[in-house]
């Protein structure tokens, strides 16, 4: 995991018993969160027990509470009505779902508006929900915790932009450090006097002050918030990027500058339609882009990553016991998927031990990605046999899984594709294969064909699984059958072993024990 300084998840994390059935984890199986922001009001219900949370329910209303607040000092009247209607709906849905008390939070618009407390009273009177109004530093802390939900051990600077404010938080060694809030939300920036020159001078002064307060931040810049995600979608459109997954999408400083120019030089409505953005969100993108331009120039991060996890996920992280926080989100989620959907839950652990000898070289795939593939190797068995390889690839690349780069998603997808099919030629996903190097594609094929062969041995018990021995310098692959299991090695198994040997490029295949 290249977002963590240690670089690799510990072996202990890969082999510990999963925690999703632990009583403390089961308490997180339905967690409802309502986030009342300056632009939107959203309710999310998490199934958080598996550490990489599933979104049981997720609905957003672009209420615009903070629209024109900088001039009036009050919440937008129409936005207030829309927000209240949304919260009423959310409370009724929570009652029907029989989830516990909703965790509610209100941010910049409500905390700064003259009628913010009156709105909170109205919400409590109409729905029984008590809105917790948090200050800017707490908002920054929760957003940073949301980033930690997806990237344990993350380091860098978290930047969460809303409609009326923008927060920064420092991450070091998996902990939230310095935090600061600013008034750089795009709704508020609409009121800056002096046109483009006035806005530029204002942004330069404000961002310079933020940099002085936060100190040098040359590591990763994590972008949290709808305006940043909208900008990332436009960046994807400009680049012709093939994977439409925003979480962990990476941009360089050069790419950010190019996309800002792209926004300035193209018709906003055309950009909106091509990128699939709403009108309200697109209206804020040009101002948000100018903020990002100054942030990148001032802080000079070594790269920029988009996080789909933010304040709502941070509120879930707040409720997690430490032992669950410490787990690898990808591995825990894959364990959960295996338990729920595989024909033989638990076999993934044995399969990992079986294929691991093929991936001992330092340049090979990370152990955690190999382990994830083993756990997921059978979860798509219900799909039609002719399409299992496509279903596997699609699930791996588009699933809501934390702790993976886009390249790792595609690697996992290719491996699972080869679990069910020898060749990937003519695949509808060929444009995504370009995200991997030729060597990575070959490694993924080897892993998939190893899974395909290993799946033939599911009738074996732990001590009778047999073992693979790989001697790359000798060009030799050995399959050592366990006593009493030679009948498992039939002609189909032999063909799959030979296919694996072909992917490895070995000229000698030896089977012992038959």
Alpha helices in 73-134 (DSSP H): 77-97, 108-112, 116-127
Task: Provide the pLDDT for residue 489.
Answer: 87
Averaged pLDDT, 31-46: 93
pLDDT at residue 13, as a whole number: 62
How crowded is residue 128: how many other Cβ atoms within 10 Å of its Cβ?
Answer: 11
Whether residues 455 and 394 fall in one domain? yes
Position 29 in a domain: yes
pLDDT for position 18:
62
377 and 267 housed in the same domain: no
Residue 131 has phi, psi (to 5 degrees) of -75, 125
C-alpha to C-alpha distances, 299 to 35, 151, 217, 294, 308, nearest whole angstrom = 29, 21, 6, 9, 22
For 336, the token pair is 């959960």
Instruction: Please tell me the distance from the alpha carbon of residue 19 to that of residue 26, in angstroms, as a whole number.
Output: 9
Place of tokens 């953005």: 277
* pLDDT at residue 4, rounded to an integer: 42
Average pLDDT value for the chain: 90
Q: Is residue 483 situated within a structural domain?
A: no
In angstroms, the Cα distances linking 49 to 21, 30, 319, 363, 373 are 8, 8, 11, 33, 21
pLDDT of residue 27: 63
CB 352 within 8 A of CB 374: yes
pLDDT value at residue 363: 73
Choice between 73 and 23, residue whose per-residue pLDDT is larger: 73
In a domain, 183, yes or no: yes
Q: Domain ends where: 116, 133, 150?
A: 133
Question: How confident is the model over 269-282, as pLDDT tens digits?
Answer: 999 999 999 998 99
Least confident of 34-43, 165-174, 479-488: 479-488
Task: Give pLDDT, residue 19.
Answer: 56
Which pLDDT score, from 0 to 100, does residue 482 have? 85
Q: What is the mean pLDDT of residues 328-350?
A: 91
End-to-end CA distance of the chain: 41
CATH number at residue 291: 3.30.420.150
In terms of domains, do 154 and 256 share one? yes
Say whether pLDDT at 323 is over 90. no
Q: Please, which pLDDT band fits residue 28 given cuts at 50, 70 and 90?
A: low
pLDDT at residue number 207: 97
Half-sphere exposure for 103 (CA within 13 Å, toward CB) = 19
What CATH number has the domain bearing residue 88? Answer: 3.30.420.40
Give residue 8's pLDDT band: very low, low, confident or very high (50, 70, 90).
Answer: very low
Which pLDDT belongs to residue 1? 36
Query: Which of 9-13, 309-313, 510-514 shows the highest mean pLDDT?
Result: 309-313
Residue 479 lies in a domain: no
Domain that includes residue 146, residue range: 137-313
Helix, strand, coil abundance in the chain, percent, nearest 5: 50, 15, 35
Quick one: pLDDT band at residue 400, thresholds 50, 70, 90?
Answer: confident
Q: 26-35, 306-315, 381-390: which range is least confident on average?
A: 26-35
Mean pLDDT of 486-506: 93
Point out the domain boundary residue: 133, 154, 188.
133
Question: In the predicted model, is pLDDT for residue 257 greater than 80?
Answer: yes
Question: What number is the average pLDDT over the span 376-392?
Answer: 94
Of 208-217, 288-297, 456-465, the least confident? 456-465
Measure the CA–CA gap between 149 and 154, rounded to whole angstroms.
Answer: 9
Please determine, for residue 381, whether its predicted confidence score (pLDDT) is greater than 80.
yes
Contact 189, 291 (CB under 8 A): yes
As a whole number of angstroms, the distance between CA 188 and CA 204 comes to 16
3-class DSSP assignment, residue 103: strand
- Asked, for residue 481, whether it belongs to a domain, the answer is no
pLDDT of the residue at 5: 40
3-state class of 440 per DSSP?
helix
| Domain shared by 307 and 174, yes or no | yes
Statement to judge: residues 92 and 176 lie in one domain: no
SS3 label, residue 52: coil
Cα–Cα distance, 449 to 482 (Å, whole number): 21
Same domain for 173 and 129: no
What is the sign, positive or negative, of the torsion defined by CA atoms of 300, 301, 303, 308? negative
Please state the rounded mean pLDDT for residues 458-463: 65
Looking at the fold, whether 42 and 145 belong to one and the same domain comes out as no
466 domain residue, yes or no: no
462: pLDDT confidence band, cut at 50, 70 and 90? low
In percent, how much of the chain has pLDDT > 90? Answer: 74
Q: Which two tokens stand for residue 95?
A: 């009652």
For the cut 90, the answer to whether the pLDDT of residue 495 exceeds it is yes
How many folded domains does the chain comprise? 3
DSSP string, 214-276: H----SEEEEESHHHHHHHHHHHHHHT-S----TT-EE-HHHHHHHHHHHHTS-HHHHHHHHT
- Closest to 35 in 3D by CA, of 79, 83, 82, 77: 83
Q: Which of 224-233, 428-437, 481-490 has the lowest mean pLDDT?
A: 481-490
Same domain for 179 and 118, yes or no, is no
In angstroms, the CA 351 to CA 450 distance is 9
304 in the same domain as 216: yes
From 417, 443, 461, give the residue that closes a domain.
461
Which secondary structure element, helix H or strand E, spans residue 291, and what is its range? helix 279-299
The whole-number average pLDDT for the span 143-172 is 93
Q: Is the residue at 478 inside a domain? A: no
Do 308 and 198 lie in a common domain? yes
Question: Domain containing 437 — which CATH number?
Answer: 1.10.3210.10
Alpha-carbon distance values, 498 to 289, 300, 449, 505 (Å) = 54, 50, 10, 10
> Would you say residue 473 lies in a domain?
no
Average pLDDT over residues 360-388: 91
Task: Give tens-digit pLDDT for 165-199.
Answer: 999 999 998 899 999 999 999 989 998 999 999 99
Q: Are residues 115 and 25 part of one domain?
A: yes
Retrieve residue 323's tokens: 């032992």
Query: Per-residue pLDDT for 6 more than 70?
Result: no
Tell me, yes or no, whether 300 and 338 share the same domain. Answer: no
What pLDDT shows up at residue 2?
47
pLDDT at residue number 320: 87
């Amino acid at each position: 995991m290249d977002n963590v300084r240690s670089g690799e998840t510990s072996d202990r994390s890969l082999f510990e018993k999963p925690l999703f059935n632990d009583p403390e984890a089961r308490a997180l199986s339905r967690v409802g969160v309502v986030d009342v922001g300056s632009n939107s009001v959203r309710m999310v219900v998490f199934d958080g027990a598996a550490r990489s949370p599933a979104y049981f329910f997720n609905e957003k209303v672009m209420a615009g509470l903070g629209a024109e607040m900088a001039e009036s000092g009050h919440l937008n009247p129409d936005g207030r009505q829309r927000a209240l209607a949304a919260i009423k709906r959310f409370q009724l849905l929570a009652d029907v779902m029989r989830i516990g008390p909703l965790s509610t939070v209100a941010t910049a618009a409500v905390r700064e508006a003259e009628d913010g407390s009156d709105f909170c009273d109205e919400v409590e009177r109409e729905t029984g929900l008590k809105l917790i109004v948090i200050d800017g530093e707490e908002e920054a802390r929760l957003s940073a915790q949301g980033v930690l939900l997806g990237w344990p051990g993350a380091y860098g600077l978290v930047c969460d932009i809303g409609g009326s404010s923008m927060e920064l938080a420092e991450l070091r060694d998996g902990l939230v450090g310095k935090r600061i809030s600013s008034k750089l939300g795009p709704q508020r920036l609409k009121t800056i006097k002096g046109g483009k020159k006035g806005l530029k001078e204002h942004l330069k002064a404000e961002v310079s002050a933020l940099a002085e307060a936060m100190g040098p931040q040359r590591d990763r810049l994590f972008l949290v918030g709808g305006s940043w995600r909208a900008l990332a979608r436009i960046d994807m459109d400009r680049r012709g990027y093939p994977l439409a997954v925003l979480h962990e999408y990476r941009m360089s400083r050069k790419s950010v500058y190019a996309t800002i120019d792209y926004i300035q030089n193209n018709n906003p409505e055309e950009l909106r339609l091509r990128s699939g953005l709403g009108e309200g969100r697109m209206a804020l993108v040009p101002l948000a882009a100018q903020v990002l331009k100054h942030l990148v120039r001032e802080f000079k991060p070594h790269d920029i990553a988009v996080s789909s996890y933010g304040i709502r996920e941070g509120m879930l992280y707040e409720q997690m016991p430490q032992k669950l926080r410490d787990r690898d989100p990808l591995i825990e989620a894959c364990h959960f998927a295996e338990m729920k959907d595989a024909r033989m839950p638990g076999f993934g652990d044995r399969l990992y031990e079986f294929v691991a000898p093929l991936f001992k070289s330092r340049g090979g795939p990370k152990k955690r990605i190999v382990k994830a593939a083993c756990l997921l190797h059978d979860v798509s068995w219900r799909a039609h046999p002719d399409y299992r390889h496509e279903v596997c690839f699609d699930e791996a690349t588009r699933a809501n899984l934390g702790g993976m780069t886009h390249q790792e998603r595609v690697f996992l997808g290719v491996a699972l594709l080869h679990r069910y099919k020898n060749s990937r030629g003519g695949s509808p996903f060929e444009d995504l294969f370009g995200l991997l190097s030729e060597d990575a594609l070959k490694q993924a094929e080897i892993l998939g064909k190893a899974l395909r062969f290993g799946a033939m041995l599911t009738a074996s018990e732990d001590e009778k699984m047999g073992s693979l021995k790989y001697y790359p310098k000798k060009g030799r692959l050995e399959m050592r059958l366990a006593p009493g299991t030679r009948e498992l090695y039939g002609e189909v198994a032999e063909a799959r072993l030979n296919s694996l040997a072909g992917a490895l490029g070995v000229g000698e295949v030896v089977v012992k024990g038959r």
